[in-house]
Amino acid sequence: MNHRTEASTLPRHVAIIMDGNGRWARRRGLPRHAGHRAGVGPVRAAVEQCARRGIEVLTLFAFSSENWKRPRDEVSKLMTLFLEALDREVDALHENGIRVRFIGDRSQLSHALVSRLAAAERLTADNEALTLVVAVSYGGHWDMVQAARAIAVEVAAGRLSPDDVDEQCITAHRALAGLPPVDLLIRTAGEWRISNFLLWDLAYSELHFTDRLWPEFGEADLELALEAYRSRRRRFGRTDEQMKVGEC
Ligand code: FPP
């Protein structure tokens, strides 16, 4: 069995840590929020490119659990930016068959944003071209906690026994439940960290780091990341020999 067929060399699920907006702005003598605004175009371009390339899921880290610690003005401008971008883009996303899903702790978000997120999810729920997951107020630790709490509720109600709590059970309660595993994680702006993003989900992901700042991340950069992914040998704990004879 050939493990390098075209289908298997295109990631099904790509996740991106969009970093470097602040540095992009600082280098131009602009306020940080100008960098975040400049980051919207590359989001749109990456969504279009992934849909065109036949990637099934694109997950974007837009705002982390820790980003709440940023200056109040920056947080407030980012929330406004998310609302505006959602209002502006949701119809086009829907027309292009894109399903939108949000992951993260909604209890921290404004009522206005929560209701817009839910409305966008409802509107696009049956679309099949690409699933766009936007992580807002998201942290990998939060994800584990919410999964553990949901499982505890099931156990307390007698619907699950403690023996049912295995890897499959936790996988089914994560924020990304029901979606294919993350094949490729890209992080921009030269940082080599996971920063509390999808901890459970990144167990076997290929990692790609680029120095490009997010506002400058373009089609060629995503193609480079896909190219790098194609050249990786994914063994999932097995040996090269096992992978050659197709023992999987
Ligand atoms: C990290 O760069 C970026 C963010 C915290 C915000 C990401 C938001 C966008 C790209 C805006 C558009 C998003 C959507 C989903 C419409 P940073 O501020 O940490 O950069 P720095 O490390 O250079 O300071």
Would you name the residues annotated as active-site residues? Answer: 19, 67
Partners of residue 61 on adjacent β-strands: 17, 135
Q: CB under 8 Å to 34, separation ≥6 — which residues?
A: 25, 28
65 in ligand 1 pocket by Cβ < 6 Å? no
Q: Rounded to an integer, what distance in angstroms lies between the CA atom of residue 12 and that of residue 54?
A: 8
Residue with tokens 């974007």: 60
Q: Does 80 sit in the ligand 1 pocket, CB within 6 Å?
A: no
Residue of 79, 209, 214, 217 to mutate, ligand 1, most atoms within 8 A of C-beta: 214
| Structural domains in the chain, sorted by start | 6-138+181-232 (3.40.1180.10)
Average pLDDT value for the chain = 94
Q: How much is the average pLDDT of 38-60?
A: 98
Segment 78-93, tens digit of pLDDT = 999 999 999 999 999 9
pTM: 0.93
Q: What does the pLDDT look like over 72-130, one tens digit per residue?
A: 999 999 999 999 999 999 999 999 999 999 999 999 999 999 999 999 999 999 999 99
Query: Cα(66) to centroid of ligand 1, in Å?
Result: 13
User: Does any ligand 1 atom lie closer than 6 A to the CB of residue 215?
Assistant: no
Q: Cα of 39 to ligand 1 centre, how many Å? A: 7
Q: What is the pLDDT of residue 8?
A: 61
